[in-house]
Amino acid sequence: MRRLCAAFGMLLALATAAWSQESPIEIPPVDRSPYSIGGFLEARPAVVWQDAGSASSRLRSPAGEPLDRRVRFDSRLQLDASYRHDWFSAQARGVIDGSRVDGDWTAEATAYEAYLSVKPAPSLTVDAGKKTLKWGKGYIWNPAAFLDRPKTPDDPALALEGVTVLSADYIRTFNGPLQALSLTPVLLPVVGSFNESFGERGHVNVAGRLYALLYDTDIDVMALAGGSRPSRVAVDASRNLRSNLEVHGEWVRVPAGRIAAIDAAGALVERRGPLTSVVAGIRFLSVHNTTFIADYFRNGAGYTTDEMRAYFDLVDRGLESLATTGDERLLRLAGAATQAGYGGATPMRNYVYARVTQPDALGVLYLMLGASAIVNADDGSGTFLPEVQYRATENLELRWLAGIQHGGRRTEFGEKQADLRIEMRVRYYL
């Protein structure tokens, strides 16, 4: 009987020990393949409530067809591929965009990046091909990003199409207040089929960036010359004032800037003169892990309130002229002014951007609640962008985003084509 009890006790002890032992963590082998391929597939169904009376809508539909609610479906396949061997590497990023609007399908494939890299040492990299340069410190506005396309305000993290360049990075490090220094010279040809949309053709543009980590502050000095665009210089900086507070800024000077503007006589003319743009912002992390971002943008190439009113007047007169006499000339001029800058993302002088995000919100890991606002400080109009993002699995991301325009007639956001846009994005990483 004793032996039976002892055996039972031993069995119980072993079972308890086995139960309390944690299951071993399985560690798969590390992938060391020289090839890499990835990317994502995303679908973005959206409902857009149009403002039929806005200047943008009336310019697109001068006949005044009723535009109310529109359902659209956008999709994107982004593929990133790379190959590395010793100090040589090749990288490519391709994007296929597909859209369905009013029953019509459109699709477009674009090579965002495709370049070769040679790295004989970590201190020296030479790149040739199409790539993004990624200059500037602002969150959504980067006037110092001379060579990049502007970011999408409602999704600044979206990949951008690059430019075809020959560039190099030379890095040195030091002990002392100056910890790192790097020089990035860039050659950007606007000839043949290279960089057709960059500016005036027939020029090989020269740009460069000098970066320093000095007294724990990131400082960049940048310049562009060559003729395709007016020459310009810029300085930007970024620094952590506290472990939870970062400040950043950009300053850009274009000594001989050019702006297409509507003059007092109602003609579209080119105005020349020095232009100065400034971005200043902060990023703050609260004790509750909430991130606050605020950026101010002084757009040196922006229009004044009076100039913007003159543009809206031109649209009105053009529509009236078309309706009464059938004359399209003023409307065509308004279209040209829209293309020249009045219809751009930030056509006026002063903007403020604010963003609040709360990761792991409501006690749910990987649930992010956020809201952004872009306000035109000149006319008081703006857009409000609430969003909910959830990482459902490691590679599946869901995002709900709304865009609500605010502003009266003859204000920038009040005259946008859409009053309200609600979008759902489903993105699966490959």
Partner 1 sequence: MTRHLLFILLLAIAVVTGARRPEAAIDGAALLQQVDRRLNPTSYDAYKRIVNVEPGGRTREYLLYQVADGRDKVAALFLLPASDKGRSTLRVGENMWMYVPNAGRPIRITSLQSVVGGVFNNADILSLDYSTEYDVASVDESGDDYLLELKAKTRNVAYDRLRMWVTRKDALPVRIECLTAASMLIKTLHFRDVKDFGGGLVRPAVIETDSPLYMGHKSSMILVEMTARTVEPEVFTLTFMPNLESIRR
Within 218-277, the residues that bind partner 1 by CB under 8 A are 218, 238-240, 242-246, 248
- When asked if residue 80 is in the footprint of partner 1 (CB under 8 A), the reply is yes
Q: Which is nearer to partner 1, 210 or 422 (CB)?
A: 210
Minimum CB–partner distance for residue 147 and partner 1 (Å): 12
d(CA 118, CA 127): 7
Q: Which is nearer to partner 1, 171 or 377 (CB)?
A: 171
- When asked if residue 171 is in the footprint of partner 1 (CB under 8 A), the reply is yes
d(CA 358, CA 287): 11
Q: What is the DSSP letter of 302?
A: P
What is the size of the binding site for partner 1 (CB under 8 A)? 65
Which own/partner contact pairs does 365-374 have at CB distance under 8 Å and 24+ positions apart? 366/390, 366/391, 366/392, 372/154, 374/140, 374/153
What Å distances lie between residue 225 and 49, 204, 230, 273, 368, CA to CA?
43, 9, 7, 17, 42
Q: What is the DSSP letter of 23?
A: P
Within 293-352, the residues that bind partner 1 by CB under 8 A are none
β-strand partners of 70: 48
Q: Which is nearer to partner 1, 84 or 201 (CB)?
A: 84
Minimum CB–partner distance for residue 326 and partner 1 (Å): 48
Using CB under 8 A as the criterion, what x/- string covers residues 5-44 for binding partner 1? --------------------x-x--xxx---x-x-x----
- When asked if residue 201 is in the footprint of partner 1 (CB under 8 A), the reply is no
d(CA 346, CA 342): 9
d(CA 55, CA 319): 10
Closest residue by Cα to residue 58 from 422, 421, 423, 409: 409
Q: Which residues in this chain contact partner 1 in the complex, by CB under 8 A?
A: 25, 27, 30-32, 36, 38, 40, 80, 82, 84, 87, 89, 117, 119, 121-123, 125, 132, 134-137, 148, 156-160, 169, 171-173, 179-180, 182, 184, 211, 213, 216, 218, 238-240, 242-246, 248, 283, 285, 289, 291, 359-360, 365-366, 391, 394-395, 397, 429-430
